[in-house]
Structure 1
């Protein structure tokens, strides 16, 4: 191996309690290469065969992605031990659950731009690729920040707790209208556009003039919206693991299965009425975990005289268990309430008709 440090080596000295991954550079490139190959195949296939995927097709692809993630975790358990494997599973579940929250916004984006159903899969695929690239940048920035500034955990922890409170309050709102961000509005002013879809094309030539199609703006909306969600998810997963490689792979597995979840859970999402509350509890839990770690590693002179604070840290086994319980209770409580409300609505309509 060369003397150059990969992002894994950059932060492996943060803690001696947690074993560090000692991956060669080729392992990073192999992982990225496999991801690029899979995504390229998906894009070419979907572009040539635009359609709404069948339920069988969706379950097959989703089973492959979930099975691959579980297999990856098991291999990591065998080769690297339970600690790092637990960090991967905790990170993967957290990223997946936060990605499910993205689907609400994706549904609103598709509705706002009136995307034909047969083209939605292509738009999602390109939007997810943009999201993977942008998240890769955030993962690298996060690794660099953690390596150079241990106090960044204070910022991450406080930000997650703030986001948890904000998400819990937004969960009480019934506002379900997608609002374009400033970047999207600027792009719509810059690019001359047509309001007609032309298959999966993002640009067309009309009367000698190059025009952007609605597909171009849909893809931009999906990609930039996920970027905003990454501001929450990247700090959250760094609260569960210090290994950028685990952060990268957990994000890849979560995002690469997101397209199938969009179509499978479209109707079910409306029944997950407590999802925002559950995710807010999850983010708050990880925020507290980050603050405890920040205190344990403290170097700020105005806190305990710059000395480490003797506080308990939450082990990964407890974190993984808490994530499973939070998500499980959220799902069961949401489905129970939706079923009860549906029965009450039927009973109410029956009494009115009488």
Structure 2
């Protein structure tokens, strides 16, 4: 699709304006977004992406339009998977609830910059070396295999960039609002806020290594690749607060994403064979193979996502996993005095904890077995209950339901 420099400039300006709007009107003043606020703005950003796609359909035709939507849906699904890691990072660094929006927006902005660099690098490589499709295909198939591996014990927050930053700069143990640096005993020190941004920035680069080959497997049009990636990232902050409670429940999403990446990887290798010029494959001649159309790709991507998300939401195992992980996370947050200064937010956390407690009680033996370190979790829930009862006695909280955590 031929795109004029003016269209490029206008598109980039609009994307930057949306990021600036998000910062100045939603993130600059630290606050905890409501579910209604997150739903409205998440829908608004999806609407902008869909309207852009319709514009591509009208002015570019069905082919480019289908490629854009296939790329956007794939990148959006991969972005949701990235939210799992963002949740782990923010939980590991004990990011105050009010400041999580700013961390997420930084992650989105950094991801956009990093992926834009990879997009133009990938486009340059594709133009110069047709065999790069073989490499992209292998990367996606290997990534699909890695997504099927259990990584429960991984510490996503303890990456090389964070360890290097801790060694180079003196760091504090506590936050100072949303400041990146503060003073301790008259000396300048780095706060955990900067560390968490470094952690998210480093993981964003890793995410781009499978994100960009995936989108190039659906379209080689640089403009469509850039816009699909950009619009999939916009609204990711709002989506995090909207579906945060469902993240643990999407237990089959990684399987669906693995299937999609493997499918695109095979599609890339087939395309590479069709365009082959490597002398040791078919004497450097093109290999007559079937190429997967955009319509088929879009159907496979949507179909796999619908099946895996529906299976996750309807699965008893998903409900069990969601209750167990949610109870552990909410109890830890409730006991953390620095997590939030908002009394209503603390009440919301405890109410969720009670709801998850009841769900855990109702679990049968089959799903109770999924509770890792069960005694530790039960002790954590008891401490949260005791802390809430003390807050009620001081007049700082409202009485809850039954005081017993577990039978």
Considering the TM-score relative to the shorter chain, is it more than 0.5?
yes
The correspondence for 1:201, drawn from 162, 174, 179, is: 179
The alignment status of 1:88 with 2:68, answered yes or no, reads yes
Task: Look up the match of 1:270.
Answer: 248
SS of residue in 2 equivalent to 1:169: coil
Shift of 1:176: 6.0
The alignment status of 1:235 with 2:251, answered yes or no, reads no
CA distance in 1, matches of 2:145, 2:318: 27
The alignment status of 1:154 with 2:148, answered yes or no, reads no
SS of residue in 1 equivalent to 2:315: helix
1:1-354 matches, within 5 Å, as 21-170=1-150, 173-175=151-153, 177-338=155-316, 342=320, 346=362, 348=364
Q: Deviations over 1:103-140 (max 9, x none)?
A: 11111111111011000001111121111111110011
Shift of 1:216: 0.6
SS of residue in 2 equivalent to 1:267: helix
Cα contact 1:104–1:269 (8 A) shared by 2: yes
Shift of 1:179: 4.4
Matched length: 330
Cα contact 1:204–1:210 (8 A) shared by 2: yes
Larger Rg: 2
Q: Deviations over 1:190-244 (max 9, x none)?
A: 1222222122211224454322111111111112112101100100000000111
Unaligned runs of 5+ in 1: 1-20
Cα contact 2:162–2:199 (8 A) shared by 1: yes
TM (norm. structure 1) is 0.88
Q: Deviations over 1:5-26 (max 9, x none)?
A: xxxxxxxxxxxxxxxx211112
Shift of 1:48: 3.5
Shift of 1:162: 0.9
Higher RCO (Cα < 8 Å, 6 or more apart): 1
Cα contact 1:273–1:338 (8 A) shared by 2: no
CA distance in 1, matches of 2:50, 2:158: 36
TM (norm. structure 2) is 0.77
Q: Deviations over 1:36-85 (max 9, x none)?
A: 12212222334542011111111111111100111111111111101000
